Amino acid sequence: MTDERTTAALQGSRWRRSVALMWRGLRAEPRLYVLAVGSSAVFGALTVAVSRAVGWATDTVVVPAIGGDVEAQDRLWQAGLVLAAVAVTLALSVAGRRIWAGLGFAALQARHRRGVTAQYLRLPMSWHRAHPAGQLLSNASADVEAATGVFNPLPFALGVVVMIGVAAGMLLSIDLWLAAAALVVIPAAVVVNLVFQRFMAPAATRAQQLRAEVADVAHESFEGALLVKSLGTADREEARFADRAHALQAANVRVGVVRAFFDPVIELLPSLGTLVVLGVGTWRASTGAVEAGDVITAAYLLTVMAVPVRAFGWVLGELPRALVGYERIARVLDARGVLPSGSRALPRTAGGLAVRLDGVGVDVPAAGGTARLLDDVDLEVGPGQTVAVVGSTGAGKTTLVSLLARLSDPTRGRVLLDGLDLRDLLDGEVPAQVALVAQQTFVFEDTVRANVTLADVPDVPDGADVPDDAAVWDALRTARLDDLVQGLPGGLDASLGERGANLSGGQRQRLAIARALVRRPRLLVLDDATSAVDPQVESEILRALRGTAGDGSAVTVVMVAYRMSSVALADVVVHLEGGRVVDVGTHRELLGRDPGYRSLATAYEQETARRARERADELAVGDETEATAPDAPVAATPKGRTR
C-alpha cells in the first residue's frame, strides 16, 4: 500500500484541471460513456435532421401542396412518415443518452465513495483524530455529489458539439452568409457563458460555503441542546444561527441576481440570432442565392438548438463546484501515513503476552511547536499479569494504552509484544491478539450477536473462524451481560438501535468487554472501560478475567482505572503523571513510597478525615461558645438549618 501511486489531486491551471477532471471521469467508465456520448451525438445529428426535414417538408410538400400542387399533396403522407421516423429515433437517442449518462453518473459516485471509504478504513487513528467525523461524512456525500455533478450534462454537451458540426456543414452547403448569420450565436453563447462563470463561480462558492456554515451551527447547537437549555442560551443560539442564515440569504440572492440576468440573455441569443437570419436571409433571397425554405431551415435550427447549446452553460456552471468537491475528495485519496506493517508473526499460544515499552515518547503538534503527551516511558509487564495505570485527568493514560493496540505508533522508543516491535508485525497480528476496550463504546446498529462477534454470520470474517453462539454466551457471561441478553426478545438476535441507544452506559461497556473477550485475546487493554459499571459487577468481571491465573493461561490485562477496589486487584500499578512514569510497584508499595499516588489513592479517605476534623473543630468551637454563653442561638451549629 505504500508504493508510489499517481496522486488523485489535479495539477496545473484551472482549465487543465477541469479538463483532466472530466477526462478521468469518462475514462473511468469507458463503456457507459462511449454509449452515452454516442447516443448524444446521434441526438445532436438528429436534432439538425428534424429541422432539415421540416425545411424539406415545407419546401417540397407544404408550400407546393397548399399552392395546389397535387403531386406534393400525394407526398404529404410520405413526409409525415419521415418526420415520425425521425421523431422515434430522436426519442430513442434521448433515452440512450440519459440512461447511460445516468448509469455513468451513479457508477462514478460509487467509485469515489468506495475510494474515500477505503481510505477511512486504511488510514491510522492519528489521521482520524485530525479530521472531524462530520467532514469525512461530507466528503463521502456532498463532495462526491459536487465532484460528479458535471457528468450529468457532459455527454449532452459533447453531443451538442456534434450537432453544431452537422449544423454548420448543412448551413454551409446552403449558403455561406446564412450559415455565418446562424452560427454567430454559438461563439456569442460561449462568451456569455464565460462572463457568467466569472460572476457565478465566486457567488456559488460563497453560497455553498454559507450552506455548510449554517449546517455546522445547527449541528453543533442541536447536539448541545441540553447545554443550551441548562444555561438558557437559546436566544444567543438563535442570534448565532440567524446571523449565518441571513448571510446565506444574501448569498443566495446574489446567486439569484446573477442568474436573473444571465438566463434572459442566454435565452435572448437564439431569438436575436433568428432575427439576424431573417434579415440576412431576406437579403440572400432577394439576390436569389437562397429560397424561403432555406431561411426557415436556418431559423428553425436556431430554435431547436437553443436548449442544447445551453448544455455548455450547465457544464461550465458545474465545473467550479466539481473542482472544489473533487479536490476535497483527492485530499482523502492522497492521504498517506498508513502504519507500515512488517513480516513477523506472534506465536499462537494460549498464555498472555509479555509487554515491554522501551523509552516510549509521543508528541503531537500544538500551537507553536509540539506538545509531549508521553515521554521516556519504560515498562515491563509479564505474561498473565494484571497492570493498572493510574494518574490524574490528562496524565496521558489513554495515549499510553492505545499504543499497545497500535492505534498509533510512538514518536520515540519501541513497544514490544513477546519481544517483537509492533511495527515489525504482520498486518492483522495486533488485532488478532490484542483487544482494546475504549472509554466510549461504539455500538453498531445490528444484532447483539453481530455486535459481539463483529462478523456477518453467513460469511467468513477476516481470516478467523466465526465464534459460535456458545463462545458468544461465554463472553457475555464473563462480562456479566448474559442475564440482560436472555431477557431481550430474540436473545442474541435482538437488534440494538442507533449507537446502542437502548442500552445504558454500563451495559454498553459490558457489551464492549464481551466483544473483546470473544476474540480470546492474549492482551486485554481496558481504558477506563468499566467506569459506568456498578462497582461490585466491575470487581466480579476483573476477578473472572484473572480467573485461572497461575496455570499459565491467564490473559495479560492492562487497565486504566480510578476505583481503588479495582486497582487493588492489579499485580502491578503504574503511576503516570504529565506523560511520565512516576513509579511502578504494587498498590501497597506505591502507597508507601509515592506521595502523589497516595494522594490520588486516598483522596476520598483523606477528604472524609479532613471533614471529620473540621466538624470536630467546629463542634469544639461550638462547645466553647456554649460553655461561655449557655444561651447561644441554635444557628451557631454549622448548617443547623437543615436539621
Partner 1 sequence: MSDSRIASASTLGVLATLRRGVQLSPQIVQGLWLTLGLAVLAASGRVVVPLAVQRTVDEGIGATGGPDAGRVALFVALAAGALVVAGLCSAMVNVRLFRSTEAGLAELRVRAFRHVHDLSTLSQGTERRGALVSRVTSDVDTISLFVQWGGIMLLVSSLQVLVATVLMAVYSWQLTVLVWLCFVPLVLVLRRAQRHVNAAYTTVRAKVGAMLGAISEAVVGAETVRAYGVGRRTGRRVDAAIEETRSAQARAQVLVASVFSGGVLVANLVLAVVVVVGTLLGVGGELTAGQVVAFLFLVQLFTGPVQMATEILNELQNAVAGWRRVLAVVETPLDVVDPPDGVASERGPAALTLQGVRYTYPEGPEVLHGVDLELPARTRVAVVGRTGSGKTTIAKLVTRLMDPTAGQVLLDGVDLRDLGLASLRDRVVLVPQEGFLMEGTVADNVAYGLRDGTSGADDVAARVSDAFEALGLADWVADLPAGLGTQVGQRGEALSAGERQLVAIARAYLAAPDLLVLDEATSAVDPATEVRIARALDSLTAGRSTLTIAHRLSTAEASDLVVVVDDGHVVEVGPHDELAAAGGVYARMHASWVAQTR
Question: Binding to partner 1 (CB under 8 A): which residues in 245-274?
Answer: 245-246, 248-249, 252-253, 255-257, 259-261, 263-265, 267-268, 271-272, 274
Q: Scanning the structure block, which residue is given the C-alpha cell 489513592?
A: 601
| Inter-residue contact 128 to 137 (CB < 8 Å) | no
Angstrom CA distances, 431 to 302, 401, 407, 522, stand at 67, 14, 10, 10
- Say whether residue 550 binds partner 1 (CB under 8 A): no
Q: What is residue 143's three-state secondary structure?
A: helix
- Say whether residue 74 binds partner 1 (CB under 8 A): no
| Inter-residue contact 623 to 603 (CB < 8 Å) | no
What is the x/- site pattern for partner 1, positions 187-216, by CB under 8 A?
A: ------------------------x--xx-
Measured from the CB atom, is 17 or 301 closer to partner 1?
A: 301
- Say whether residue 333 binds partner 1 (CB under 8 A): no
| Piece in contact with partner 1 (CB under 8 A), picked from 115-123, 194-202, 319-327, 470-478 | 115-123
H/E stretch holding 349 reads none
Q: How far is the CB of 54 from partner 1 (least distance, A)?
A: 6
Q: How far is CA 565 from the centre of its chain?
A: 41
Cell of 241: 444561527
Q: 564-603 b/e with 16+ CB inside 10 Å = b?
A: bebbbbbbbbbbbbebbbbbbbebeebbeebeebbebbee
Among 60, 117, 411, 553, binds partner 1 (CB under 8 A): 117
- Say whether residue 613 binds partner 1 (CB under 8 A): no
Q: What is residue 436's three-state secondary structure?
A: strand
| Piece in contact with partner 1 (CB under 8 A), picked from 329-337, 351-359, 485-493, 603-611 | 603-611
Alpha-carbon span 32 to 481, nearest angstrom: 53
| Piece in contact with partner 1 (CB under 8 A), picked from 23-31, 162-170, 176-184, 560-568 | 560-568
Question: Binding to partner 1 (CB under 8 A): which residues in 121-160?
Answer: 121-122, 124-125, 128-129, 132-134, 136-137, 140-141
Among 8, 26, 45, 54, binds partner 1 (CB under 8 A): 54
| Piece in contact with partner 1 (CB under 8 A), picked from 96-104, 343-351, 482-490, 545-553 | 96-104
| Furthest CA-CA distance within the chain | 139
608: CB partners within 8 A, 6+ apart: none
Measured from the CB atom, is 80 or 547 closer to partner 1?
A: 80
- Say whether residue 313 binds partner 1 (CB under 8 A): no
- Say whether residue 455 binds partner 1 (CB under 8 A): yes
Measured from the CB atom, is 241 or 382 closer to partner 1?
A: 241
Ramachandran angles phi, psi of 135, nearest 5°: -65, -40
Question: Binding to partner 1 (CB under 8 A): which residues in 456-495?
Answer: 456, 459, 461-462
Q: 243-281 b/e with 16+ CB inside 10 Å = b?
A: ebeebbeebeebbeebbeebeeebeebbeebbebbeebb
- Say whether residue 30 binds partner 1 (CB under 8 A): no
- Say whether residue 336 binds partner 1 (CB under 8 A): no
Among 30, 169, 340, 428, binds partner 1 (CB under 8 A): 428
